[in-house]
Amino acid sequence: MDARKIRVAVVRGLKMGAVERMFSQEARDAIVEGRSNPTFAELGLDSLARMELCIAIELDTGVSIAPDSLDLYATVDDLVADLLRRATV
Amino acid sequence: MPLFDAYRSEACACRTVNEFNRLHIDYEAWLSPSEFEELARGIHACAPTMPPASMIWARGLGELIARSGNPVRAWDRRPVYQDAVWYAPGDGAPPRRERTLVVCYTDFFGRLFMPIPAYLQHCPAPGHDYLVLRDRSRRYFVEGLADVAPTLTSALRAVLGAIDAHKFRRIQSVGASSGGFAALWSAVEFGFSSGVSLGGAAPSTLERSGLSADGFREALRAHPVPPLAYYYSADYPTDRANAAELAALMPVVTVPIAGASKHNLVFEIYQRGELVEFLAGVHAIPPRATRYAAPDAAT
Protein backbone atom coordinates (compact mmCIF):
# COMPACT_ATOMS: atom_id res chain seq x y z
CA MET A 1 0.00 0.00 0.00
CA ASP A 2 1.43 3.40 -0.95
CA ALA A 3 1.18 6.73 0.82
CA ARG A 4 -1.41 8.11 -1.58
CA LYS A 5 -3.84 5.26 -0.91
CA ILE A 6 -3.42 5.82 2.80
CA ARG A 7 -4.03 9.53 2.39
CA VAL A 8 -7.20 8.76 0.43
CA ALA A 9 -8.34 6.50 3.29
CA VAL A 10 -7.63 9.19 5.88
CA VAL A 11 -9.48 11.83 3.89
CA ARG A 12 -12.43 9.49 3.41
CA GLY A 13 -12.48 8.88 7.15
CA LEU A 14 -12.39 12.58 7.94
CA LYS A 15 -15.23 13.15 5.52
CA MET A 16 -17.24 10.30 7.02
CA GLY A 17 -16.69 11.94 10.38
CA ALA A 18 -18.31 15.11 9.01
CA VAL A 19 -15.21 17.15 9.75
CA GLU A 20 -16.22 20.57 8.51
CA ARG A 21 -12.98 21.34 6.72
CA MET A 22 -13.39 18.22 4.62
CA PHE A 23 -16.59 19.53 3.02
CA SER A 24 -14.30 21.35 0.59
CA GLN A 25 -13.06 19.28 -2.35
CA GLU A 26 -10.01 21.52 -2.55
CA ALA A 27 -9.12 20.81 1.08
CA ARG A 28 -9.53 17.08 0.52
CA ASP A 29 -7.38 17.15 -2.62
CA ALA A 30 -4.67 19.11 -0.84
CA ILE A 31 -4.32 16.42 1.83
CA VAL A 32 -4.39 13.57 -0.69
CA GLU A 33 -1.66 15.27 -2.72
CA GLY A 34 0.44 16.05 0.34
CA ARG A 35 0.12 19.83 -0.06
CA SER A 36 -1.67 20.28 3.24
CA ASN A 37 -0.80 18.85 6.64
CA PRO A 38 -3.38 20.08 9.18
CA THR A 39 -3.05 19.30 12.86
CA PHE A 40 -5.79 17.30 14.51
CA ALA A 41 -6.41 20.28 16.75
CA GLU A 42 -7.18 22.35 13.65
CA LEU A 43 -9.51 19.65 12.29
CA GLY A 44 -11.48 19.59 15.55
CA LEU A 45 -12.63 15.97 15.65
CA ASP A 46 -15.36 15.10 18.14
CA SER A 47 -15.72 11.58 19.52
CA LEU A 48 -17.97 10.40 16.69
CA ALA A 49 -15.62 11.81 14.07
CA ARG A 50 -12.73 9.96 15.69
CA MET A 51 -14.68 6.71 15.51
CA GLU A 52 -15.60 7.23 11.86
CA LEU A 53 -12.00 8.05 10.95
CA CYS A 54 -10.68 4.90 12.61
CA ILE A 55 -13.42 2.75 11.05
CA ALA A 56 -12.56 4.06 7.57
CA ILE A 57 -8.84 3.53 8.11
CA GLU A 58 -9.39 -0.04 9.25
CA LEU A 59 -11.73 -0.85 6.35
CA ASP A 60 -9.46 0.71 3.72
CA THR A 61 -5.99 -0.22 4.99
CA GLY A 62 -6.51 -3.14 7.35
CA VAL A 63 -4.66 -1.27 10.09
CA SER A 64 -6.56 -1.04 13.36
CA ILE A 65 -6.19 2.16 15.35
CA ALA A 66 -8.33 2.88 18.39
CA PRO A 67 -9.97 6.33 18.47
CA ASP A 68 -8.16 7.19 21.71
CA SER A 69 -4.83 6.52 19.98
CA LEU A 70 -5.34 9.44 17.63
CA ASP A 71 -4.00 11.62 20.42
CA LEU A 72 -0.57 10.19 19.61
CA TYR A 73 -0.52 12.02 16.28
CA ALA A 74 -0.12 15.76 16.04
CA THR A 75 -0.80 16.05 12.33
CA VAL A 76 -2.32 14.12 9.43
CA ASP A 77 1.16 13.43 8.05
CA ASP A 78 2.17 11.85 11.38
CA LEU A 79 -0.80 9.52 11.12
CA VAL A 80 -0.14 8.73 7.46
CA ALA A 81 3.52 7.90 8.20
CA ASP A 82 2.59 5.49 10.97
CA LEU A 83 -0.12 3.84 8.86
CA LEU A 84 2.30 3.44 5.98
CA ARG A 85 4.81 1.76 8.28
CA ARG A 86 2.22 -0.56 9.79
CA ALA A 87 0.50 -1.37 6.52
CA THR A 88 3.72 -2.57 4.94
CA VAL A 89 5.03 -4.64 7.89
CA MET B 1 -35.28 -12.51 23.10
CA PRO B 2 -34.63 -12.15 19.33
CA LEU B 3 -33.23 -8.60 19.53
CA PHE B 4 -30.64 -9.61 22.08
CA ASP B 5 -29.79 -12.81 20.21
CA ALA B 6 -29.20 -10.85 17.00
CA TYR B 7 -27.07 -8.30 18.82
CA ARG B 8 -25.02 -10.94 20.64
CA SER B 9 -24.33 -12.75 17.41
CA GLU B 10 -23.07 -9.55 15.79
CA ALA B 11 -21.11 -8.39 18.84
CA CYS B 12 -19.36 -11.71 19.26
CA ALA B 13 -18.20 -11.50 15.63
CA CYS B 14 -16.48 -8.15 16.23
CA ARG B 15 -12.71 -8.37 16.52
CA THR B 16 -11.59 -4.76 16.89
CA VAL B 17 -12.74 -1.66 18.72
CA ASN B 18 -13.64 -0.16 15.36
CA GLU B 19 -15.89 -3.06 14.47
CA PHE B 20 -17.68 -2.61 17.80
CA ASN B 21 -18.04 1.11 17.21
CA ARG B 22 -19.47 0.49 13.76
CA LEU B 23 -21.99 -1.95 15.19
CA HIS B 24 -23.05 0.40 17.96
CA ILE B 25 -23.32 3.47 15.72
CA ASP B 26 -25.71 1.42 13.58
CA TYR B 27 -27.86 0.29 16.51
CA GLU B 28 -28.01 3.84 17.88
CA ALA B 29 -29.62 4.97 14.62
CA TRP B 30 -32.79 2.90 15.00
CA LEU B 31 -33.38 1.41 18.45
CA SER B 32 -36.30 2.76 20.44
CA PRO B 33 -35.71 3.50 24.15
CA SER B 34 -37.60 0.40 25.27
CA GLU B 35 -35.79 -1.77 22.74
CA PHE B 36 -32.49 -0.49 24.06
CA GLU B 37 -33.62 -1.24 27.60
CA GLU B 38 -34.48 -4.79 26.57
CA LEU B 39 -31.13 -5.17 24.87
CA ALA B 40 -29.20 -3.73 27.80
CA ARG B 41 -31.01 -6.06 30.18
CA GLY B 42 -29.86 -9.02 28.09
CA ILE B 43 -26.30 -7.72 27.93
CA HIS B 44 -26.11 -7.26 31.69
CA ALA B 45 -27.76 -10.64 32.34
CA CYS B 46 -25.14 -12.37 30.21
CA ALA B 47 -22.27 -10.18 31.40
CA PRO B 48 -19.70 -12.96 31.88
CA THR B 49 -20.03 -14.02 28.25
CA MET B 50 -20.41 -10.62 26.63
CA PRO B 51 -17.51 -8.61 25.18
CA PRO B 52 -16.38 -5.75 27.45
CA ALA B 53 -17.16 -3.28 24.66
CA SER B 54 -20.81 -4.32 24.82
CA MET B 55 -20.91 -3.67 28.56
CA ILE B 56 -19.35 -0.23 28.15
CA TRP B 57 -21.79 0.68 25.38
CA ALA B 58 -24.86 -0.53 27.30
CA ARG B 59 -23.79 1.38 30.38
CA GLY B 60 -23.02 4.59 28.48
CA LEU B 61 -26.19 4.74 26.41
CA GLY B 62 -28.20 3.61 29.43
CA GLU B 63 -26.93 6.64 31.35
CA LEU B 64 -27.85 8.97 28.45
CA ILE B 65 -31.39 7.62 28.50
CA ALA B 66 -31.79 7.52 32.29
CA ARG B 67 -30.86 11.17 32.66
CA SER B 68 -34.12 12.25 31.02
CA GLY B 69 -35.90 11.45 34.27
CA ASN B 70 -38.77 9.93 32.27
CA PRO B 71 -39.85 6.29 32.55
CA VAL B 72 -38.41 4.35 29.60
CA ARG B 73 -40.77 4.85 26.70
CA ALA B 74 -42.29 1.96 24.78
CA TRP B 75 -42.54 3.30 21.26
CA ASP B 76 -43.97 1.04 18.62
CA ARG B 77 -41.21 1.08 15.98
CA ARG B 78 -42.57 0.57 12.47
CA PRO B 79 -40.15 0.53 9.53
CA VAL B 80 -41.85 2.24 6.57
CA TYR B 81 -38.88 2.03 4.22
CA GLN B 82 -35.27 1.12 4.89
CA ASP B 83 -34.44 4.70 5.84
CA ALA B 84 -37.82 5.85 7.13
CA VAL B 85 -38.89 4.58 10.54
CA TRP B 86 -42.08 5.56 12.32
CA TYR B 87 -42.09 5.58 16.12
CA ALA B 88 -45.70 5.58 17.30
CA PRO B 89 -46.71 5.91 20.94
CA GLY B 90 -47.80 2.70 22.61
CA ASP B 91 -51.07 1.81 24.30
CA GLY B 92 -52.96 4.60 26.00
CA ALA B 93 -51.97 7.30 23.51
CA PRO B 94 -54.60 9.75 22.28
CA PRO B 95 -56.17 8.95 18.89
CA ARG B 96 -54.18 9.91 15.83
CA ARG B 97 -56.41 12.86 14.96
CA GLU B 98 -55.22 14.46 18.21
CA ARG B 99 -51.51 13.71 17.76
CA THR B 100 -48.66 15.57 16.08
CA LEU B 101 -46.41 13.84 13.58
CA VAL B 102 -42.81 15.03 13.76
CA VAL B 103 -40.84 14.38 10.57
CA CYS B 104 -37.22 14.09 11.72
CA TYR B 105 -34.29 14.55 9.35
CA THR B 106 -31.19 13.00 10.88
CA ASP B 107 -27.59 14.13 10.60
CA PHE B 108 -24.83 12.39 8.63
CA PHE B 109 -24.65 9.70 11.31
CA GLY B 110 -28.37 8.88 11.35
CA ARG B 111 -28.84 10.74 14.64
CA LEU B 112 -30.59 13.82 15.88
CA PHE B 113 -27.34 15.03 17.41
CA MET B 114 -27.95 12.21 19.91
CA PRO B 115 -28.51 8.48 19.48
CA ILE B 116 -32.14 8.01 18.42
CA PRO B 117 -33.21 6.18 21.61
CA ALA B 118 -31.74 8.98 23.74
CA TYR B 119 -33.49 11.70 21.69
CA LEU B 120 -36.83 9.88 21.77
CA GLN B 121 -36.52 9.48 25.51
CA HIS B 122 -36.09 13.24 26.03
CA CYS B 123 -38.65 14.63 23.60
CA PRO B 124 -42.38 15.24 24.13
CA ALA B 125 -44.72 12.23 24.32
CA PRO B 126 -47.30 10.69 24.13
CA GLY B 127 -49.11 13.19 21.89
CA HIS B 128 -46.34 12.97 19.29
CA ASP B 129 -45.26 10.43 16.71
CA TYR B 130 -41.76 10.60 15.23
CA LEU B 131 -40.97 9.70 11.63
CA VAL B 132 -37.18 9.40 11.48
CA LEU B 133 -35.57 9.74 8.05
CA ARG B 134 -31.99 8.97 7.14
CA ASP B 135 -30.00 9.97 4.04
CA ARG B 136 -27.12 7.53 3.76
CA SER B 137 -25.82 9.29 0.65
CA ARG B 138 -25.14 12.35 2.81
CA ARG B 139 -26.67 14.71 0.23
CA TYR B 140 -28.72 16.73 2.71
CA PHE B 141 -31.86 14.83 1.61
CA VAL B 142 -32.09 16.91 -1.58
CA GLU B 143 -31.69 13.73 -3.62
CA GLY B 144 -34.45 12.03 -1.65
CA LEU B 145 -34.18 8.64 0.02
CA ALA B 146 -32.30 5.79 -1.62
CA ASP B 147 -35.07 3.21 -1.66
CA VAL B 148 -37.98 5.61 -2.06
CA ALA B 149 -37.65 8.45 -4.61
CA PRO B 150 -34.89 10.71 -5.99
CA THR B 151 -35.98 14.12 -4.69
CA LEU B 152 -36.85 15.44 -1.27
CA THR B 153 -40.39 16.28 -2.32
CA SER B 154 -41.16 12.98 -4.04
CA ALA B 155 -39.58 10.89 -1.28
CA LEU B 156 -41.41 12.70 1.50
CA ARG B 157 -44.71 12.52 -0.38
CA ALA B 158 -44.28 8.76 -0.69
CA VAL B 159 -43.39 8.26 2.96
CA LEU B 160 -46.21 10.45 4.25
CA GLY B 161 -48.65 8.65 1.97
CA ALA B 162 -47.49 5.26 3.22
CA ILE B 163 -48.47 6.12 6.79
CA ASP B 164 -51.61 8.13 6.01
CA ALA B 165 -50.03 11.20 7.54
CA HIS B 166 -53.09 13.32 6.71
CA LYS B 167 -54.86 11.63 9.62
CA PHE B 168 -52.64 13.42 12.13
CA ARG B 169 -53.81 16.63 13.72
CA ARG B 170 -50.72 18.41 12.47
CA ILE B 171 -47.25 17.79 11.13
CA GLN B 172 -44.00 19.40 12.19
CA SER B 173 -40.52 18.90 10.73
CA VAL B 174 -37.29 18.94 12.70
CA GLY B 175 -33.77 18.35 11.41
CA ALA B 176 -30.35 18.24 12.99
CA SER B 177 -27.13 19.39 11.33
CA SER B 178 -27.16 18.10 7.72
CA GLY B 179 -30.87 17.34 8.15
CA GLY B 180 -31.81 20.86 9.20
CA PHE B 181 -32.10 22.31 5.74
CA ALA B 182 -34.57 19.64 4.62
CA ALA B 183 -36.68 20.30 7.72
CA LEU B 184 -37.09 23.96 6.79
CA TRP B 185 -37.60 23.22 3.11
CA SER B 186 -40.27 20.56 3.62
CA ALA B 187 -42.13 22.68 6.17
CA VAL B 188 -42.52 25.35 3.48
CA GLU B 189 -43.12 22.95 0.58
CA PHE B 190 -45.73 20.83 2.39
CA GLY B 191 -47.28 23.56 4.53
CA PHE B 192 -46.44 21.91 7.84
CA SER B 193 -47.44 23.55 11.12
CA SER B 194 -43.80 24.41 11.79
CA GLY B 195 -40.23 23.62 10.77
CA VAL B 196 -37.15 23.57 12.98
CA SER B 197 -33.48 23.33 12.16
CA LEU B 198 -31.00 22.48 14.89
CA GLY B 199 -27.64 23.81 13.73
CA GLY B 200 -28.54 22.93 10.16
CA ALA B 201 -27.12 23.83 6.80
CA ALA B 202 -27.93 26.90 4.70
CA PRO B 203 -28.27 27.06 0.90
CA SER B 204 -24.60 28.05 0.52
CA THR B 205 -23.58 24.91 2.43
CA LEU B 206 -25.25 22.74 -0.18
CA GLU B 207 -23.93 24.78 -3.06
CA ARG B 208 -20.36 24.35 -1.81
CA SER B 209 -20.99 20.61 -2.06
CA GLY B 210 -22.19 20.92 -5.64
CA LEU B 211 -25.87 20.58 -4.76
CA SER B 212 -28.67 22.94 -5.77
CA ALA B 213 -30.87 24.77 -3.29
CA ASP B 214 -33.03 26.25 -6.05
CA GLY B 215 -35.97 24.03 -5.12
CA PHE B 216 -35.99 25.59 -1.69
CA ARG B 217 -35.95 29.11 -3.11
CA GLU B 218 -38.77 28.16 -5.47
CA ALA B 219 -40.80 26.80 -2.54
CA LEU B 220 -40.31 30.08 -0.70
CA ARG B 221 -41.71 31.97 -3.69
CA ALA B 222 -44.62 29.58 -4.19
CA HIS B 223 -45.90 28.92 -0.67
CA PRO B 224 -46.71 30.82 2.51
CA VAL B 225 -43.98 30.36 5.10
CA PRO B 226 -45.10 28.56 8.29
CA PRO B 227 -43.44 29.27 11.65
CA LEU B 228 -39.77 28.38 11.25
CA ALA B 229 -36.99 28.33 13.82
CA TYR B 230 -33.23 27.89 13.67
CA TYR B 231 -31.51 27.01 16.94
CA TYR B 232 -27.73 27.18 17.05
CA SER B 233 -24.76 27.49 19.37
CA ALA B 234 -24.16 31.20 19.87
CA ASP B 235 -20.39 30.77 19.84
CA TYR B 236 -20.09 28.45 16.83
CA PRO B 237 -19.21 30.66 13.85
CA THR B 238 -20.37 28.39 11.02
CA ASP B 239 -23.88 28.00 12.37
CA ARG B 240 -24.07 31.66 13.33
CA ALA B 241 -23.33 32.47 9.69
CA ASN B 242 -25.95 29.94 8.53
CA ALA B 243 -28.52 31.60 10.80
CA ALA B 244 -27.77 34.99 9.27
CA GLU B 245 -27.98 33.59 5.74
CA LEU B 246 -31.35 31.96 6.40
CA ALA B 247 -32.73 35.03 8.15
CA ALA B 248 -31.89 37.11 5.09
CA LEU B 249 -33.81 34.69 2.91
CA MET B 250 -37.09 34.24 4.78
CA PRO B 251 -38.92 34.86 8.03
CA VAL B 252 -37.25 32.50 10.52
CA VAL B 253 -36.82 32.89 14.26
CA THR B 254 -33.14 32.42 15.00
CA VAL B 255 -32.32 31.25 18.50
CA PRO B 256 -28.66 31.43 19.53
CA ILE B 257 -28.03 29.23 22.57
CA ALA B 258 -26.02 31.24 25.06
CA GLY B 259 -22.80 29.65 26.28
CA ALA B 260 -22.83 26.91 23.64
CA SER B 261 -19.72 26.76 21.46
CA LYS B 262 -19.94 23.47 19.60
CA HIS B 263 -21.92 22.47 16.53
CA ASN B 264 -23.77 19.84 18.57
CA LEU B 265 -25.95 22.17 20.62
CA VAL B 266 -28.26 19.33 21.67
CA PHE B 267 -25.49 17.53 23.52
CA GLU B 268 -24.36 20.75 25.17
CA ILE B 269 -27.87 21.31 26.50
CA TYR B 270 -28.08 17.67 27.56
CA GLN B 271 -24.89 18.12 29.57
CA ARG B 272 -26.55 21.00 31.41
CA GLY B 273 -29.40 18.63 32.36
CA GLU B 274 -31.93 20.75 30.47
CA LEU B 275 -32.68 18.72 27.34
CA VAL B 276 -36.26 17.73 28.21
CA GLU B 277 -37.27 21.35 28.70
CA PHE B 278 -35.35 22.45 25.61
CA LEU B 279 -36.99 19.86 23.34
CA ALA B 280 -40.42 20.74 24.72
CA GLY B 281 -39.80 24.22 23.28
CA VAL B 282 -38.40 22.91 20.00
CA HIS B 283 -41.41 20.64 19.44
CA ALA B 284 -43.98 23.24 20.47
CA ILE B 285 -46.05 24.78 17.68
CA PRO B 286 -44.92 27.42 17.04
CA PRO B 287 -41.47 26.59 18.42
CA ARG B 288 -40.55 28.55 21.53
CA ALA B 289 -37.46 30.69 21.77
CA THR B 290 -36.01 29.25 24.94
CA ARG B 291 -34.65 30.85 28.02
CA TYR B 292 -31.22 29.66 26.82
CA ALA B 293 -31.24 32.20 24.05
CA ALA B 294 -28.55 34.84 23.88
CA PRO B 295 -29.18 38.18 22.18
CA ASP B 296 -29.43 37.25 18.51
CA ALA B 297 -26.45 38.37 16.50
CA ALA B 298 -27.69 36.71 13.32
CA THR B 299 -30.61 38.91 12.47
Question: Is residue B153's pLDDT more than 60?
Answer: yes
Closest-CA residue of chain B to A66: B17
Instruction: Report B:260-289 residues touching A (Cβ under 8 A).
Output: 262-264
Question: Is residue B297's pLDDT more than 80?
Answer: no
Residues of B in contact with A48 (CB under 8 A): 25, 109
CA–CA dist B112, B220 (Å, integer) = 25
All CATH 3.40.50.1820 domain ranges of chain B, comma separated, are 76-282
A44 dihedral zone (left: phi>0; alpha: psi -120 to 50; beta): left
Question: Is residue A80's pLDDT more than 80?
Answer: yes
| Overall domain count for chain A | 1
Residue A1's pLDDT band (cuts 50, 70, 90): confident
Average of per-residue pLDDT across B220-237: 97
pLDDT score, position B45: 95
Mutate one of A48, A65, A83 to test the B interface: name it (highest B CB count within 10 A).
Answer: A48
Which CATH number characterizes residue A81's domain? 1.10.1200
pLDDT score, position A89: 61
* CB-closest option in A46, A55, A66 to B22: A55
What's chain A's average pLDDT? 94
**Could you tell me if B283 and B123 are in contact, meaning their C-beta atoms sit under 8 angstroms apart?**
yes
pLDDT in tens, B56-103: 999 999 999 999 998 998 899 999 999 999 999 988 889 999 999 999
Q: What are the residues facing B76 on neighbouring strands?
A: B88
**Could you tell me if B181 and B201 are in contact, meaning their C-beta atoms sit under 8 angstroms apart?**
yes
Residues A46, B262: C-beta atoms closer than 8 Å: yes
Q: Which domain holds residue A63?
A: 3-87
DSSP B166: G
DSSP output for B39-66: HHHHHHHTGGGS-HHHHHHHHHHHHHHH
Give the rounded percent of residues in chain B with a pLDDT score beyond 90: 91
Q: Is A47 on the interface with B (CB under 8 A)?
A: no
Q: Tell how strand B84-88 and strand B76-81 pair up.
A: antiparallel
Residue B250's pLDDT band (cuts 50, 70, 90): very high
To the nearest whole Å, the CA of A1 is away from the closest chain B CA by 21
To the nearest whole Å, the CA of B92 is away from the closest chain A CA by 37
pLDDT score, position B296: 62
CATH of the domain spanning B76-282: 3.40.50.1820
Mutate one of A22, A55, A86 to test the B interface: name it (highest B CB count within 10 A).
Answer: A55
Q: Give me the half-sphere count of Cα atoms (radius 13 Å) on the Cβ side of residue A61.
A: 34
Question: Is residue B293's pLDDT more than 90?
Answer: no
